[in-house]
Amino acid sequence: MNVGITLKNYRCFPEDQPAIIRVEKGFTALVGTNNSGKSTLLRFFWEFRPLLSSLVNPNSLHVAMQGGREALNFPSTIRDPEEVFCNRQAQTITIEFDFSQIDKSQLPTLLGDCPTRLVVDIDRGSKTWGAKASILDHPLRRENLIWMTRENNDLLKYGEEVVADFTAIHKICEMLTRCVYIPAYRNAINAGAAQSYFDIQTGQAFISQWRSWQAGDIIEHRRAARRLTDTIRDIFGYDRLEINAANNNETLEVFIDDESYMLPELGSGIAQFLMVLANAAIKKPPFVLIDEPELNLHPALQRDFLRCLASYATEGVVFATHNLGLALAQADRTYSVHRIGHGQSAVHPYGETPRLPEFLGEMSYAGYKQLGFDKILLVEGVTDLRAIQYFLSLYGKQDKVVLLPLGGDSMINGNRTEELQEVQRICPHVYALIDSEKTSATDPVKAPRQAFVATCANLSPAIPCTVLDRRAIENYFTEAAVKAVLGPAVSALRHYDRAPNNWKVDNWRIAQEMQRADIEATDLGYLLASL
């Protein structure tokens, strides 16, 4: 999925400062202070889910595109529809969908042009909506349009002419309706017996659900409960873990290494892992939308939590956070959300890579150090972090080494002496791992990378810098691992092949299909073993 969304006059985003974000595969972070509007962006997908469902329905979309108005329903969490409109008294909310970057290779053969833009306007007075679509800058005709069935009335025709193929539009909107929204408040025990809280089961309802998953008739639910228990066991470092609903159905009984505990005795961290991951595991949504994933978790567990959450989503995770370090270390793309006035906010891509020492501070390195982390490994870029961290776990060193992204070509050069020295003052045991970017075995490493290696060597003490023998991390992935994630038609790269762009998003998933023996005899394996 790759869709741009622009919100005008929705809550704190006025027309002259619209919120513009892209929802695409991988991790997307929304970073800002309290009340900056980041949670509002996440909540949009919950509050306008009924609208997204209507966009999937050709009958509703047909009326709206013909100039008619369709009634807009809101979820029960909105008591007064007025609250979703900007406080500047604007009369219309405008939602623009940009479909121009859709990957059509993932779709059936289109029988007409795919609309590149769909604009929905919502009237404040009547709470109704209308829609206009266009292909590039050419609006679709509004009168006498008819839908023709291919699968789900995907084709829009004018007489005998196919005007547009809405296959991709319907598919994307349907996927957005199935996203799971997880708000910042999530308590597995004290939320009462309500059936759900937004998209998650909580309180006694969750405990009852856990009992049915663990011991019910559905095999896949039982397997999911077992896998989830094993995942939590491994992350928290337990030898044995068993999680059962208590007899009173008001809490969970947890057996850790043969000792019995009621869930409240263990704190909210493990409760959050269990409740959120269990809901995601059963629903298998395209995206998980989660507010403040860092809540109740030490920095060492926050990224583990997000990675686990992503493993249950088919497309990715969008998360709102106060922690810039977490966003930059985990996300494939980051947006900064900030207030520009009373009740008004703005959104911008976070485009600048911070200096390495500042990044260490943002990542709360002092907290890592207290837990026993004693080394820093500088790696090529953000997309390599998750793959390398998994490889470190194969060597039992995931709790000893903090990974710090270099930002690729923008920072891998000979002009980083001062920053590297500052990093060494924070932690004396610093190592570096960068791609060779070579196109053949005899191809020389590019001059800026050679200069970076020389800079590392000239420091006192020197920073050991490994330049991969192969082109990049992706060139170490095995055939079996690649096929397990990308499908049987995709083959592993040769040593100097350039990885397709989509591999960068999924490289951590591919890495998780590998074993230590797959890299042990390589230069990558030698480095990890030496740390």
474 touches 517 (CB < 8 A) = no
Lowest mean pLDDT among 178-187, 309-318, 421-430: 178-187
Query: For residues 62 and 84, what is the distance between their CA atoms, to the nearest angstrom?
Result: 25
- Containing H/E element for 208? helix 203-215
Mean pLDDT for 202-230 is: 85
365 touches 391 (CB < 8 A) = no
Mean pLDDT for 348-370 is: 66
In sign, the C-alpha dihedral spanning 452, 412, 331, 513 is negative
At residue 176, the 3 state secondary structure works out as helix
The yes-or-no verdict on residue 352 having pLDDT over 90 is no
Peptide bond into 461 cis (omega under 30): yes
Q: What is the pLDDT of residue 317?
A: 95
Q: State the pTM of this model.
A: 0.74
In sign, the C-alpha dihedral spanning 488, 489, 490, 494 is positive
DSSP 85: B
The yes-or-no verdict on residue 476 having pLDDT over 70 is yes
41 touches 347 (CB < 8 A) = yes
Q: Residue 466: beta bridge partners?
A: 433
Confidence of residue 234 (pLDDT cuts 50, 70, 90): confident
Mean pLDDT for 239-246 is: 90
Q: What is the pLDDT of residue 93?
A: 94
At residue 170, the 3 state secondary structure works out as helix
Q: Phi, psi at residue 304, to the nearest 5°? A: -60, -40
Mean pLDDT for 466-482 is: 95
Q: What is the pLDDT of residue 288?
A: 95
Q: How many CA atoms lie within 13 A of 521 on its CB side?
A: 2
187 touches 274 (CB < 8 A) = no
Q: What is the pLDDT of residue 132?
A: 87
The yes-or-no verdict on residue 62 having pLDDT over 80 is no
More confident residue, 184 or 45: 45
Q: How many CA atoms lie within 13 A of 240 on its CB side?
A: 7
- Angle in degrees, 0-180, between the axes of helices 268-283 and 299-311, rounded to the nearest 10: 10
Q: What is the pLDDT of residue 434?
A: 95
Query: Could you report the per-residue pLDDT of 435-459, keeping only the tens digit for each?
Result: 999 999 999 999 999 999 999 999 9
Query: Could you report the per-residue pLDDT of 504-530, keeping only the tens digit for each?
Result: 778 888 998 999 999 999 999 999 999
Q: Residue 320: beta bridge partners?
A: 30, 291
Mean pLDDT for 211-232 is: 87
Lowest mean pLDDT among 345-359, 387-401, 410-424, 463-477: 345-359
Let me know if 266 is exposed, middle or buried by CB neighbors in 10 A (0-12, 13-18, 19+). Answer: middle
Confidence of residue 7 (pLDDT cuts 50, 70, 90): very high
Query: For residues 165 and 450, what is the distance between their CA atoms, to the nearest angstrom?
Result: 50
Confidence of residue 148 (pLDDT cuts 50, 70, 90): low
Distance of CA 219 to the CA centre of its chain: 28
**Strand ordering across the sheet containing 287-291:** 180-182, 287-291, 316-321, 26-31, 333-341, 344-349
- Angle in degrees, 0-180, between the axes of helices 299-311 and 219-236, rounded to the nearest 10: 160
Please, where are the H alpha helices in 48-120?
Answer: 49-56, 58-65
Total number of residues shown for the chain: 531
Produce one character per residue of 161-199: b if its CB has 16 or more CB atoms within 10 Å, e if not: ebbbbbbbbbbbbebbbebbbbbeebbbbebeeeeebbb
Domain ranges in the chain are 2-25+47-177, 188-267+274-283, 356-530
DSSP strand pairing (26-31 vs 316-321) = parallel
122 touches 81 (CB < 8 A) = no
Q: What is the pLDDT of residue 351?
A: 55
E strand map for 99-165: 117-123, 128-135, 138-139, 145-148, 155-158, 161-165
Q: Phi, psi at residue 202, to the nearest 5°? A: -135, 175
